[in-house]
Every structure is written in structure tokens, then in C-alpha cells.
Amino acid sequence: MHEEVKSAALNPYQMAVQQFEAAAEKLNLSEDMREILRQPKRELAVNFPVRLDSGRIKTFTGYRVQHNVNRGPAKGGIRYSPDVTLDEVKALAMWMTWKCAVVGIPFGGAKGGVICDPKHMSPSELERLTRRYTTEISIVIGPHGDIPAPDVNTNSQVMAWIMDTYSMHEGYSVPAIVTGKPLSIGGSEGRNDATATGVLFVTRQAARRIGMPLKGARVSIQGYGNAGSIAARLFQREGSKIVAVSDTRGGIYNESGLDPASVLRFKQERGSVIGFPGAQSISFQEVLEVPCDILIPAATEGVITASNAPRVQARIIAEAANGPTTPEADAILFSKGALVIPDILANAGGVTVSYFEWVQDLQSFFWGVEEIIQKLEVIMNRAFNAVAEKADQSSCDMRLAANMLAIARVAEATQFRGIYP
Ligand code: NAD
């Protein structure tokens, strides 16, 4: 089962290009425009040494990719994982471009990653790795050019180190260089919960569309990190029942419902959700297939494939993760009548509040949490409705509709700006 997950996740860039081509075709985009948009503007690979606690010096490889900046500065997270590849980072950068366009915020797309295993590194090793990686990519990042944020295995502490390193080089504080920072150094209220909050807002709209109340709905969540664990808490508050969750080691299931806060405490103490009292152990893959109404993949790419899609029981799949569903699986889910809220829409709450954080940093003027949540809800609902309308008009699934909307906006910006020189 695990092999299947890995091989499907191997080439996310091909998957991203395939999704792009489908939308470009439907939009009748010229081949010249397709050539511009199908590849990243810039790919930086860096190999850099880091002193480990043992005294050994290990050389790490990292990337920063900027896909397109015609609608604004590049924006995208930084991922630390042994599975990082250049193709993965390129795919994630492209999805960021479409994501910012679909919610209408003035950013282009970027992504970064370092091949490392943060679970086997000490905090001081991670700090040295982060500071050196920041220095290596500082030739392409900047508060007006490319603004990183957290992603898998990076958090507000890592963002604080990036901000401090960049600021040391400049000679003064540059909070707008990253988003997802701690509040005390220019972070934004609401950023920590933003991705999951956005997932809740669009799922509410989707549930309304199919006439399914969120109260009492059974929810299964793959991945119990920032996006997944907070989504569990927010959906429980909405009256939904969290029946299954998982992390890298596997999953747990209880048809009567799990308490998200207790599961999180258990995971923090034991390092995994596995063994949570009163729950049945299930595999990493089974969490996608348990009886549920709403499925939230919140871990990694390529997990819903042609081979398991027929067994997915959820009526709504809200993609908190980027790229969890392969194009073949998309077709199967669509034909089964499942409503997939595509990643570029479902998880756009994160980058939207990152945009708010960046604006607040540039103005040195900070907003209250109510204002942020309200503004986020307006943006997410507007984007959901625009995508749903497009899907109805074009008789297609929401992914194709979202990609069509986004790609048309980026193509229009590219057309207006023209080709330099
Ligand atoms: P995280 O590191 O906080 O949590 C990731 C979770 O997924 C963990 O529970 C981990 O055990 C599990 N996981 C990771 N890799 C896995 C693998 N190969 N197999 C099985 N489980 C695995 O990360 P996060 O920030 O919650 O991000 C999760 C997903 O959401 C990613 O796809 C990310 O790109 C996407 N996302 C996150 C944000 C954000 O603001 N954090 C925004 C938009 C999208």
C-alpha cells in the first residue's frame, strides 16, 4: 500500500502540468502563452554545508522555485522533508500561482524545500540549516520579490530564524520577508488557523450546495499537523464528528467520534496518533476509505489515486493538502458524484492571511483577529462561488473550473504586461 502512495507521489510536476494543459485547452490558450505558463520563471538549487551537533559537517540540498510573478511578488512555503525533489517544488510553485489568482490576491507563485529529515535533527541543527539556507536563497527572496512561509515540517520558529537572518544581512528588521511569523515579531492574528479556517469556510459552502448539514457530518482527516489538527478542532466546533485521523505512522478510527484536542495532546506526548485510547488502528491509506461524509487530505501529494478512488466514500473531499488527488482519481471521483474542493481553492486561506500579514508588516499597522477572519471569509466565499459558477457553466469538476479561472487571470496579466524587452 505504501509503495503505491510513493509511486503516485513521485511526479507531482507532471500532474500539475497535466492539470494545466486540461484548463489551457478548455480556455483555448495560445501555444505561446502555454509555453510561458507551463514552466517556472526561475529555479534555484543550492548545496550548502551545516555543522551538526556531533561536529560532523553535512552538505544539504535545497531549492527555491518562482513560477510566475506577473500578478505580484512570488509567494510560497518552505518544506523540510527527505522526500523533497525539484519536481515537487516546481509543482507546488505552479499551484501557488493558480491559488493566489483563484482567490484574487496580488501574488505570484513560489515554493522552497530542503532535503533533510527534521525529525532526526536537533533544534540548533535546524536553526543552522535554516539560517544557511536563507543566506543561500537570499539572492532571489525579498519583501517585494519573493516572500516565503511555512509548509510541511516548518513553523513560526523557522520563519523567525529566516526573518532574523535576512534582517541581519540588511542591517535592520525586515518583517515582510516571511509570513507565518510569531506575533511578537510582526506575525498576524489568525495566521496559525488560517488554512484550516479557509477549509471550513469553503466546505460550508460545498455542504450547502449539496444540501448536507455540517452538524453531525462524519469527517476523516489524513495528516495531523498544522492544517489537519486545526481543521479537526474547527469542524468539531461546527458540530461535525471526527471519525478518523492519521499521521505518517498510520491512522485511528472511532465511529462515535474522536476528541481532536485529546488526540493532539496524545500526539504531542507520544509522537503519533497511533495508540490513542478507545480508537481502532487503521493504515495511513485506510483513513481515506473509512465511512465518512467529508474527507480532508491534509498530508501530502498523490495519495488519492486510480486504485483507491473507487473506495473513497466521502461526498465532499476538501483538499487541505496540495496535490493529494491524481488526475485519474479526479475523473473517478467526479463520475461517482463526489464534490472535490480543489487544493488551490480549499487551502487558500493560508496564503490569504499570509497576504494580510505582509500588508500589515509593510504598513506597520496591525489588525484584530475578528477583522482578519471576516476578510478571509469574504474572500473564500467569493472564490468558492466563482469556481462553482464556472463549474456549472462549463459542466466540469471544480478543479478544472478553478484552474480555468486562475489561469485566465494569470494569462490576462501576462498579456497586459507584454514581453520584455
Ligand atoms: P505539517 O508538517 O504541520 O503536518 C503534516 C502532517 O502530514 C503530519 O501529521 C505528518 O505526519 C503527515 N505527513 C507528512 N508527510 C507524510 C507522508 N509522506 N505520508 C503520510 N503522512 C505524512 O504540515 P501542514 O502545514 O499541515 O501541511 C500539510 C499539507 O497542507 C501540505 O500539503 C501543505 O502543502 C498543505 N498546506 C499547508 C498550509 C499551511 O498554512 N500550513 C497552507 C496550504 C497548504
Ligand 1 atom 17: the closest Cα is on which residue? Answer: 248
Q: Check residue 284 and give its pLDDT.
A: 85
Q: How far apart are CA 277 and CA 300, in angstroms?
A: 26
The tens digit of pLDDT for each residue in 368-415 reads 999 999 999 999 999 999 999 999 999 999 999 999 999 999 999 999
| Bridging pattern class, strands 218-222 and 294-297 | parallel
Q: How far apart are CA 350 and CA 411, in angstroms?
A: 24
List the grid coordinates of 325.
488527488
Q: How far apart are CA 47 and CA 157, in angstroms?
A: 23
pTM (whole model) above 0.85: yes
Q: What angle do CA 278, 232, 355 make, to 5 degrees?
A: 160
* Centroid of ligand 1 to alpha carbon of 225 (angstroms): 6
List the grid coordinates of 231.
481543521
Ligand 1 atom 36: the closest Cα is on which residue? Answer: 321
Amino acid at 358: W
The tens digit of pLDDT for each residue in 62-98 reads 999 999 999 999 999 999 999 999 999 999 999 999 9
Ligand 1 neighbour 23 (Cβ under 6 A): no
Ligand 1 neighbour 223 (Cβ under 6 A): yes
Where would I find the H helices in 28-122? Answer: 31-38, 86-102
The tens place of each residue's pLDDT in the chain, 421 residues long, gives: 333 344 444 489 999 999 999 999 999 999 999 999 999 999 999 999 999 999 999 999 999 999 999 999 999 999 999 999 999 999 999 999 999 999 999 999 999 999 999 999 999 999 999 999 999 999 999 999 999 999 999 999 999 999 999 999 999 999 999 999 999 999 999 999 999 999 999 999 999 999 999 999 999 999 999 999 999 999 999 999 999 999 999 999 999 999 999 999 999 999 999 999 999 999 989 999 999 999 999 999 999 999 999 999 999 999 999 999 999 999 999 999 999 999 999 999 999 999 999 999 999 999 999 999 999 999 999 999 999 999 999 999 999 999 999 999 999 999 999 999 9
Amino acid at 406: A
Close Cβ partners of 208 (under 8 Å, ≥ 6 residues apart)? none
Q: Residue 390, SS3?
A: helix
> Taking every pair of C-alpha atoms in the chain, what is the biggest distance, in angstroms?
65
In eight-state DSSP terms, residue 321 is S
Q: Which of 75, 99, 111, 241 is catalytic?
A: 111
Q: Which of 117, 229, 300 to mutate to test the pocket of ligand 1 (most atoms within 8 A of CB)?
A: 300
**Residue 111 a catalytic site member:** yes
